[in-house]
């Protein structure tokens, strides 16, 4: 989702949402994007050449509270960072249970 194309739509969604809104960007290089694509079920749906044409490095929205995750973050770390940033309870940690779960 290129920021230049979707920024106004995302800004409107953010403005119209009464609760907390969290925008996350996974900052992955083109070589790593292509490597990860090889592991996906959709690997045959588009080529590396096509993906290279779509790729936009560092295409963040630039909002102060935008969460930018580096490509070095593991899946598990990303889930935890996003959950914490969103204020969601962490499974298996009693100190993060909601009051009605205790």
Chain segment 5-23, per-residue pLDDT in tens: 999 999 999 999 988 889 9
pLDDT in tens, 12-52: 999 999 888 899 999 999 999 999 999 999 999 999 999 99
CA 97 to chain centre: 24
Q: What is the pTM of this model?
A: 0.76
For the chain, what is the total number of helices (H) and then of strands (E)?
Answer: 4, 2
Question: What pLDDT, on the 0 to 100 scale, is given for residue 87?
Answer: 87
Mean pLDDT value of segment 57-69:
92
Asked if 27 and 58 count as a contact pair (C-beta separation under 8 A), the reply is yes
pLDDT given at position 93: 60
Q: Classify 46 in phi/psi space as left (phi over 0), alpha (psi -120 to 50) or beta.
A: beta
d(CA 4, CA 61): 8
CA distances 7 to 10, 51, 62, 72, Å, are: 5, 21, 10, 26
> Does residue 91 carry a pLDDT above 80?
no
Whether the pLDDT of residue 90 is over 80: the answer is no
Lowest-confidence segment of 3-12, 27-36, 52-61, 83-92 by average pLDDT:
83-92
Measured distance CA(50)–CA(58) in Å, rounded: 18
């Amino acid at each position: 989702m290129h920021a230049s194309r979707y920024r106004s739509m995302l800004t409107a969604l953010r403005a119209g949402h009464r609760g907390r809104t969290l925008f996350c960007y996974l900052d992955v290089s083109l070589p790593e994007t292509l490597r990860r694509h090889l592991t996906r079920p959709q690997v045959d749906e588009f080529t590396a050449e096509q993906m290279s044409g779509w790729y936009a490095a560092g295409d963040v929205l630039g909002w102060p509270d935008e969460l930018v995750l580096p490509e070095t973050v593991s899946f598990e770390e990303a889930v935890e960072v996003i959950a914490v940033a969103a204020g969601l309870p962490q499974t298996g940690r009693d100190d993060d249970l909601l009051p009605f779960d205790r």
